Structure 1
Protein backbone atom coordinates (compact mmCIF):
# COMPACT_ATOMS: atom_id res chain seq x y z
CA UNK A 1 0.00 0.00 0.00
CA UNK A 2 3.01 2.22 0.46
CA UNK A 3 3.16 5.55 2.24
CA UNK A 4 2.04 9.08 1.53
CA UNK A 5 -1.28 10.79 1.06
CA UNK A 6 -2.79 8.11 -1.21
CA UNK A 7 -2.24 5.42 1.48
CA UNK A 8 -4.68 7.07 3.90
CA UNK A 9 -7.77 4.88 4.33
CA UNK A 10 -10.27 7.69 3.59
CA UNK A 11 -8.46 8.56 0.34
CA UNK A 12 -8.37 4.90 -0.69
CA UNK A 13 -12.07 4.75 0.06
CA UNK A 14 -12.91 7.79 -2.06
CA UNK A 15 -10.74 7.00 -5.10
CA UNK A 16 -10.81 3.20 -5.02
CA UNK A 17 -13.47 0.60 -5.68
CA UNK A 18 -14.23 0.14 -1.95
CA UNK A 19 -16.56 3.13 -1.51
CA UNK A 20 -18.10 1.76 1.69
CA UNK A 21 -14.70 1.24 3.33
CA UNK A 22 -15.32 -2.37 4.24
CA UNK A 23 -12.54 -4.08 2.27
CA UNK A 24 -9.20 -3.00 0.84
CA UNK A 25 -9.72 0.66 1.80
CA UNK A 26 -9.87 -0.21 5.48
CA UNK A 27 -6.91 -2.58 5.39
CA UNK A 28 -3.50 -1.38 6.57
CA UNK A 29 -0.04 -2.79 5.86
CA UNK A 30 -0.12 -4.30 9.34
CA UNK A 31 -3.45 -6.10 8.89
CA UNK A 32 -2.42 -7.26 5.39
CA UNK A 33 0.61 -8.99 6.92
CA UNK A 34 -1.40 -10.80 9.62
CA UNK A 35 -1.84 -14.56 9.19
CA UNK A 36 -4.25 -16.90 10.90
CA UNK A 37 -2.85 -19.11 13.66
CA UNK A 38 -4.48 -22.06 11.92
CA UNK A 39 -2.90 -21.34 8.53
CA UNK A 40 0.37 -23.15 9.32
CA UNK A 41 -1.25 -26.25 10.84
CA UNK A 42 -0.19 -29.64 9.46
CA UNK A 43 -3.27 -31.42 10.78
CA UNK A 44 -6.72 -30.69 12.18
CA UNK A 45 -8.15 -33.20 14.66
CA UNK A 46 -11.69 -33.28 16.00
CA UNK A 47 -11.86 -33.58 19.77
CA UNK A 48 -14.10 -32.92 22.76
CA UNK A 49 -13.43 -30.27 25.40
CA UNK A 50 -11.99 -31.92 28.56
CA UNK A 51 -13.53 -29.63 31.16
CA UNK A 52 -17.21 -30.27 31.83
CA UNK A 53 -19.85 -32.84 30.93
CA UNK A 54 -21.37 -30.79 28.08
CA UNK A 55 -19.01 -32.31 25.52
CA UNK A 56 -18.40 -29.30 23.26
CA UNK A 57 -16.71 -30.16 19.98
CA UNK A 58 -13.24 -28.81 19.30
CA UNK A 59 -10.97 -28.52 16.28
CA UNK A 60 -7.36 -29.04 17.38
CA UNK A 61 -4.80 -27.55 14.98
CA UNK A 62 -1.29 -28.98 15.25
CA UNK A 63 2.08 -28.52 13.66
CA UNK A 64 4.20 -31.62 14.22
CA UNK A 65 3.77 -32.65 17.87
CA UNK A 66 2.73 -29.18 19.01
CA UNK A 67 -0.85 -27.93 19.29
CA UNK A 68 -1.01 -24.45 17.75
CA UNK A 69 -4.69 -23.56 18.20
CA UNK A 70 -7.97 -24.97 19.52
CA UNK A 71 -11.29 -23.66 18.24
CA UNK A 72 -14.93 -24.64 18.47
CA UNK A 73 -16.12 -27.22 15.94
CA UNK A 74 -18.94 -25.73 13.83
CA UNK A 75 -20.09 -29.26 12.89
CA UNK A 76 -20.64 -30.24 16.54
CA UNK A 77 -24.37 -30.66 17.28
CA UNK A 78 -23.61 -29.93 20.95
CA UNK A 79 -21.83 -26.59 20.73
CA UNK A 80 -22.15 -25.51 17.05
CA UNK A 81 -18.69 -23.98 16.99
CA UNK A 82 -18.90 -22.21 20.34
CA UNK A 83 -16.65 -22.74 23.36
CA UNK A 84 -16.80 -21.22 26.83
CA UNK A 85 -13.75 -19.19 27.95
CA UNK A 86 -12.26 -22.24 29.65
CA UNK A 87 -12.68 -24.45 26.57
CA UNK A 88 -11.33 -21.72 24.30
CA UNK A 89 -8.20 -21.52 26.48
CA UNK A 90 -7.60 -25.29 26.53
CA UNK A 91 -4.64 -24.82 24.15
CA UNK A 92 -2.86 -23.35 27.18
CA UNK A 93 -3.58 -26.53 29.13
CA UNK A 94 -1.97 -28.65 26.40
CA UNK A 95 1.09 -26.44 25.86
CA UNK A 96 1.72 -25.40 29.46
CA UNK A 97 5.37 -25.71 30.54
CA UNK A 98 4.11 -27.03 33.89
CA UNK A 99 2.13 -29.88 32.31
CA UNK A 100 3.06 -33.33 33.59
CA UNK A 101 4.39 -35.46 30.76
CA UNK A 102 4.97 -38.58 32.85
CA UNK A 103 2.89 -40.61 35.27
CA UNK A 104 3.69 -40.29 38.96
CA UNK A 105 3.81 -43.73 40.58
CA UNK A 106 4.43 -44.91 44.13
CA UNK A 107 5.10 -48.61 44.49
CA UNK A 108 3.16 -50.61 47.12
CA UNK A 109 4.61 -49.87 50.57
CA UNK A 110 6.93 -47.31 48.97
CA UNK A 111 7.63 -43.86 50.37
CA UNK A 112 8.89 -42.10 47.23
CA UNK A 113 7.25 -41.23 43.94
CA UNK A 114 8.87 -42.14 40.65
CA UNK A 115 8.18 -41.05 37.08
CA UNK A 116 6.96 -43.62 34.55
CA UNK A 117 6.37 -43.07 30.86
CA UNK A 118 2.76 -43.36 29.73
CA UNK A 119 3.23 -46.65 27.82
CA UNK A 120 4.66 -48.36 30.91
CA UNK A 121 1.81 -47.07 33.08
CA UNK A 122 -0.87 -48.22 30.61
CA UNK A 123 0.74 -51.69 30.40
CA UNK A 124 0.77 -51.92 34.22
CA UNK A 125 -2.91 -50.98 34.42
CA UNK A 126 -3.91 -53.48 31.70
CA UNK A 127 -1.93 -56.25 33.40
CA UNK A 128 -3.60 -55.54 36.77
CA UNK A 129 -7.09 -55.39 35.28
CA UNK A 130 -6.63 -58.71 33.47
CA UNK A 131 -5.06 -60.46 36.46
CA UNK A 132 -7.85 -59.20 38.76
CA UNK A 133 -10.42 -60.43 36.28
CA UNK A 134 -8.75 -63.86 36.04
CA UNK A 135 -8.41 -64.20 39.84
CA UNK A 136 -12.02 -63.21 40.60
CA UNK A 137 -13.78 -64.79 37.62
CA UNK A 138 -17.00 -66.68 38.44
CA UNK A 139 -18.00 -68.95 35.58
CA UNK A 140 -20.78 -70.80 37.44
CA UNK A 141 -22.75 -70.19 40.64
CA UNK A 142 -23.31 -72.64 43.55
CA UNK A 143 -26.30 -74.24 41.79
CA UNK A 144 -24.34 -74.65 38.55
CA UNK A 145 -26.04 -71.71 36.85
CA UNK A 146 -23.85 -69.93 34.32
CA UNK A 147 -22.68 -66.52 35.62
CA UNK A 148 -19.66 -65.46 33.53
CA UNK A 149 -18.84 -62.45 35.71
CA UNK A 150 -16.23 -60.91 37.98
CA UNK A 151 -16.96 -59.33 41.32
CA UNK A 152 -13.40 -57.98 41.60
CA UNK A 153 -13.91 -55.02 39.26
CA UNK A 154 -16.38 -52.18 39.79
CA UNK A 155 -16.86 -48.79 38.15
CA UNK A 156 -18.24 -45.50 39.39
CA UNK A 157 -18.58 -43.01 36.55
CA UNK A 158 -18.89 -39.27 37.02
CA UNK A 159 -20.81 -36.34 35.59
CA UNK A 160 -17.62 -34.81 34.20
CA UNK A 161 -17.76 -37.46 31.48
CA UNK A 162 -20.18 -37.00 28.61
CA UNK A 163 -22.77 -39.59 27.51
CA UNK A 164 -20.50 -41.12 24.87
CA UNK A 165 -17.64 -41.65 27.34
CA UNK A 166 -19.97 -43.20 29.94
CA UNK A 167 -21.48 -45.42 27.24
CA UNK A 168 -18.02 -46.67 26.17
CA UNK A 169 -17.02 -47.29 29.79
CA UNK A 170 -20.21 -49.30 30.37
CA UNK A 171 -19.45 -51.38 27.26
CA UNK A 172 -15.85 -51.97 28.43
CA UNK A 173 -16.83 -53.06 31.94
CA UNK A 174 -19.61 -55.28 30.61
CA UNK A 175 -17.15 -56.92 28.21
CA UNK A 176 -14.79 -57.50 31.16
CA UNK A 177 -17.62 -59.23 33.04
CA UNK A 178 -18.11 -56.54 35.71
CA UNK A 179 -21.64 -56.21 37.01
CA UNK A 180 -21.04 -53.41 39.51
CA UNK A 181 -21.21 -50.46 37.12
CA UNK A 182 -22.72 -47.23 38.47
CA UNK A 183 -22.70 -43.52 37.81
CA UNK A 184 -22.69 -40.80 40.43
CA UNK A 185 -25.65 -39.17 38.69
CA UNK A 186 -27.83 -42.12 39.81
CA UNK A 187 -26.60 -42.20 43.40
Structure 2
Protein backbone atom coordinates (compact mmCIF):
# COMPACT_ATOMS: atom_id res chain seq x y z
CA UNK A 1 0.00 0.00 0.00
CA UNK A 2 1.24 3.49 -0.82
CA UNK A 3 2.71 5.69 1.85
CA UNK A 4 -0.03 7.00 4.07
CA UNK A 5 -2.35 4.28 2.61
CA UNK A 6 -5.27 3.55 4.90
CA UNK A 7 -4.38 6.35 7.30
CA UNK A 8 -4.92 8.99 4.60
CA UNK A 9 -8.40 7.52 3.95
CA UNK A 10 -9.31 7.50 7.61
CA UNK A 11 -12.53 9.62 7.94
CA UNK A 12 -11.32 11.58 10.96
CA UNK A 13 -8.19 12.77 9.14
CA UNK A 14 -10.20 13.62 6.00
CA UNK A 15 -12.59 15.68 8.11
CA UNK A 16 -9.72 17.46 9.90
CA UNK A 17 -8.17 18.32 6.53
CA UNK A 18 -11.50 19.64 5.24
CA UNK A 19 -11.89 16.90 2.64
CA UNK A 20 -15.01 15.39 4.17
CA UNK A 21 -17.97 16.31 6.33
CA UNK A 22 -20.22 18.61 4.34
CA UNK A 23 -17.93 18.82 1.35
CA UNK A 24 -17.98 16.77 -1.87
CA UNK A 25 -17.11 13.54 -0.07
CA UNK A 26 -20.51 13.54 1.63
CA UNK A 27 -22.55 14.68 -1.38
CA UNK A 28 -24.35 12.92 -4.18
CA UNK A 29 -26.63 13.99 -7.01
CA UNK A 30 -29.62 12.85 -4.94
CA UNK A 31 -28.43 14.87 -1.95
CA UNK A 32 -27.97 17.96 -4.12
CA UNK A 33 -31.51 17.56 -5.54
CA UNK A 34 -33.12 17.51 -2.08
CA UNK A 35 -34.84 20.69 -0.90
CA UNK A 36 -36.02 21.59 2.59
CA UNK A 37 -39.76 21.16 3.22
CA UNK A 38 -39.77 24.74 4.43
CA UNK A 39 -38.52 26.17 1.13
CA UNK A 40 -41.87 25.95 -0.70
CA UNK A 41 -44.05 27.19 2.19
CA UNK A 42 -46.65 29.85 1.37
CA UNK A 43 -46.63 31.10 4.95
CA UNK A 44 -45.01 30.58 8.32
CA UNK A 45 -46.91 30.97 11.57
CA UNK A 46 -45.41 31.22 15.03
CA UNK A 47 -46.96 29.00 17.67
CA UNK A 48 -46.30 27.29 20.97
CA UNK A 49 -45.85 23.54 21.34
CA UNK A 50 -49.03 22.00 22.81
CA UNK A 51 -47.40 19.19 24.80
CA UNK A 52 -46.50 20.77 28.11
CA UNK A 53 -46.44 24.03 30.01
CA UNK A 54 -42.84 24.89 29.05
CA UNK A 55 -44.07 26.84 26.01
CA UNK A 56 -41.42 26.01 23.42
CA UNK A 57 -41.73 28.18 20.33
CA UNK A 58 -42.59 26.55 17.02
CA UNK A 59 -42.59 27.66 13.41
CA UNK A 60 -45.51 26.17 11.44
CA UNK A 61 -44.87 25.99 7.69
CA UNK A 62 -47.97 25.92 5.47
CA UNK A 63 -48.32 25.19 1.74
CA UNK A 64 -51.72 25.30 0.01
CA UNK A 65 -53.51 25.43 3.35
CA UNK A 66 -51.79 22.31 4.72
CA UNK A 67 -49.10 22.05 7.38
CA UNK A 68 -45.91 20.80 5.73
CA UNK A 69 -43.40 21.13 8.57
CA UNK A 70 -43.13 22.15 12.22
CA UNK A 71 -39.76 23.21 13.60
CA UNK A 72 -38.41 24.89 16.69
CA UNK A 73 -38.42 28.69 16.61
CA UNK A 74 -34.85 30.00 16.99
CA UNK A 75 -36.26 33.38 18.13
CA UNK A 76 -38.08 31.81 21.09
CA UNK A 77 -36.46 32.91 24.36
CA UNK A 78 -37.84 29.74 25.97
CA UNK A 79 -36.50 27.05 23.67
CA UNK A 80 -34.11 28.89 21.30
CA UNK A 81 -35.12 26.67 18.36
CA UNK A 82 -35.03 23.36 20.20
CA UNK A 83 -37.92 20.90 20.61
CA UNK A 84 -38.16 17.70 22.61
CA UNK A 85 -39.09 14.50 20.73
CA UNK A 86 -42.81 15.08 21.35
CA UNK A 87 -42.64 18.67 20.14
CA UNK A 88 -40.61 17.68 17.11
CA UNK A 89 -43.30 15.13 16.17
CA UNK A 90 -46.24 17.52 16.74
CA UNK A 91 -46.92 17.80 13.00
CA UNK A 92 -48.71 14.47 13.37
CA UNK A 93 -51.33 16.17 15.57
CA UNK A 94 -52.73 17.98 12.56
CA UNK A 95 -51.71 15.82 9.60
CA UNK A 96 -52.07 12.19 10.74
CA UNK A 97 -54.78 10.42 8.71
CA UNK A 98 -56.12 8.78 11.88
CA UNK A 99 -56.80 12.12 13.58
CA UNK A 100 -60.36 12.38 14.85
CA UNK A 101 -62.20 15.38 13.43
CA UNK A 102 -65.61 14.71 14.97
CA UNK A 103 -67.01 14.48 18.47
CA UNK A 104 -67.58 10.78 19.13
CA UNK A 105 -70.11 9.62 21.71
CA UNK A 106 -70.97 6.18 23.02
CA UNK A 107 -74.31 6.03 24.81
CA UNK A 108 -74.55 4.32 28.20
CA UNK A 109 -74.46 0.54 27.70
CA UNK A 110 -73.82 1.16 24.00
CA UNK A 111 -71.27 -0.72 21.91
CA UNK A 112 -70.89 1.70 18.99
CA UNK A 113 -69.57 5.25 18.68
CA UNK A 114 -71.71 7.87 16.99
CA UNK A 115 -70.69 11.24 15.60
CA UNK A 116 -72.23 14.31 17.26
CA UNK A 117 -72.13 17.91 16.18
CA UNK A 118 -70.13 20.14 18.53
CA UNK A 119 -73.16 22.14 19.77
CA UNK A 120 -74.98 18.98 20.84
CA UNK A 121 -71.90 17.62 22.62
CA UNK A 122 -71.29 20.94 24.43
CA UNK A 123 -74.94 21.10 25.54
CA UNK A 124 -74.70 17.53 26.89
CA UNK A 125 -71.54 18.37 28.85
CA UNK A 126 -73.01 21.60 30.26
CA UNK A 127 -76.20 19.82 31.34
CA UNK A 128 -74.23 17.06 33.11
CA UNK A 129 -71.90 19.50 34.86
CA UNK A 130 -74.81 21.61 36.14
CA UNK A 131 -76.81 18.53 37.23
CA UNK A 132 -73.80 17.06 39.06
CA UNK A 133 -73.07 20.35 40.79
CA UNK A 134 -76.69 20.71 41.85
CA UNK A 135 -76.87 17.11 43.17
CA UNK A 136 -73.54 17.15 45.04
CA UNK A 137 -73.44 20.73 46.36
CA UNK A 138 -72.39 21.13 50.00
CA UNK A 139 -73.09 24.45 51.63
CA UNK A 140 -71.80 23.27 55.00
CA UNK A 141 -69.70 20.40 56.28
CA UNK A 142 -69.33 19.54 59.99
CA UNK A 143 -70.78 22.93 60.96
CA UNK A 144 -68.45 24.97 58.72
CA UNK A 145 -69.42 26.84 55.57
CA UNK A 146 -67.57 25.15 52.66
CA UNK A 147 -69.62 25.97 49.51
CA UNK A 148 -68.15 23.15 47.46
CA UNK A 149 -68.92 20.12 45.35
CA UNK A 150 -67.08 16.84 45.69
CA UNK A 151 -68.84 15.49 42.58
CA UNK A 152 -66.63 17.35 40.11
CA UNK A 153 -62.88 17.00 39.83
CA UNK A 154 -60.27 17.91 37.23
CA UNK A 155 -57.02 16.23 36.30
CA UNK A 156 -55.37 18.36 33.64
CA UNK A 157 -52.75 17.06 31.24
CA UNK A 158 -49.31 18.12 30.12
CA UNK A 159 -50.71 19.32 26.80
CA UNK A 160 -52.27 22.32 28.53
CA UNK A 161 -50.24 25.51 28.56
CA UNK A 162 -50.07 27.88 31.53
CA UNK A 163 -52.91 30.04 30.26
CA UNK A 164 -55.22 27.05 29.75
CA UNK A 165 -54.35 25.72 33.22
CA UNK A 166 -55.13 29.13 34.69
CA UNK A 167 -58.55 29.21 33.00
CA UNK A 168 -59.31 25.61 34.01
CA UNK A 169 -58.51 26.43 37.64
CA UNK A 170 -60.74 29.51 37.51
CA UNK A 171 -63.61 27.52 35.94
CA UNK A 172 -63.48 24.66 38.44
CA UNK A 173 -63.10 27.03 41.38
CA UNK A 174 -66.15 28.97 40.16
CA UNK A 175 -68.09 25.69 39.98
CA UNK A 176 -67.11 24.92 43.57
CA UNK A 177 -64.81 22.02 42.77
CA UNK A 178 -61.86 21.69 45.12
CA UNK A 179 -60.25 18.62 43.55
CA UNK A 180 -58.24 20.32 40.81
CA UNK A 181 -54.88 18.85 39.87
CA UNK A 182 -52.54 18.65 36.90
CA UNK A 183 -50.53 15.62 35.90
CA UNK A 184 -47.60 17.81 34.91
CA UNK A 185 -47.11 18.64 38.60
CA UNK A 186 -47.54 15.10 39.90
Q: 2:112: which partner in 1?
A: 112
Q: 1:81: which partner in 2?
A: 81
Secondary structure of 1:124's match?
helix
1:48 aligns with 2:81: no
Alignment root-mean-square deviation, CA: 3.7
Rate the CA distance shift 1:98–1:156 in 2: closer, same or farther, 3 A: closer
In 1, the alpha carbon distance for the partners of 2:148 and 2:65 equals: 41
In 1, the alpha carbon distance for the partners of 2:123 and 2:41 equals: 35
Per-residue Cα deviation, 1:36-74 (whole angstroms, up to 9, x for no partner):
636643461422242x56442223334575323212133
Secondary structure of 2:127's match?
helix
Contact map agreement 1:132 1:152 (CA 8 A) in 2:
yes
In 1, the alpha carbon distance for the partners of 2:158 and 2:98 equals: 27
Q: 1:58: which partner in 2?
A: 58
Post-superposition offset of 1:107: 0.3
Post-superposition offset of 1:106: 0.8
Post-superposition offset of 1:178: 0.5
1:37 aligns with 2:35: no
1:150 aligns with 2:154: no
Normalising to structure 1: TM-score of the pair?
Answer: 0.61
Rate the CA distance shift 1:103–1:76 in 2: closer, same or farther, 3 A: same
- Structure 2 spans left out of the alignment, 5+ residues: 1-31
Q: 1:121: which partner in 2?
A: 121
Q: 1:92: which partner in 2?
A: 92
Post-superposition offset of 1:161: 4.8
Post-superposition offset of 1:118: 4.1
- Structure 1 spans left out of the alignment, 5+ residues: 1-30
1:103 aligns with 2:103: yes
Rate the CA distance shift 1:179–1:114 in 2: closer, same or farther, 3 A: same
Normalising to structure 2: TM-score of the pair?
Answer: 0.62
In 1, the alpha carbon distance for the partners of 2:113 and 2:37 equals: 43
In 1, the alpha carbon distance for the partners of 2:66 and 2:118 equals: 18
Contact map agreement 2:37 2:69 (CA 8 A) in 1:
no
Number of equivalenced pairs: 157
Contact map agreement 1:45 1:61 (CA 8 A) in 2:
no
Post-superposition offset of 1:144: 7.3
In 1, the alpha carbon distance for the partners of 2:145 and 2:126 equals: 26
Q: Which structure exhibits the higher relative contact order, with contacts defined as CA atoms closer than 8 Å and separated by 6 or more residues?
A: 2
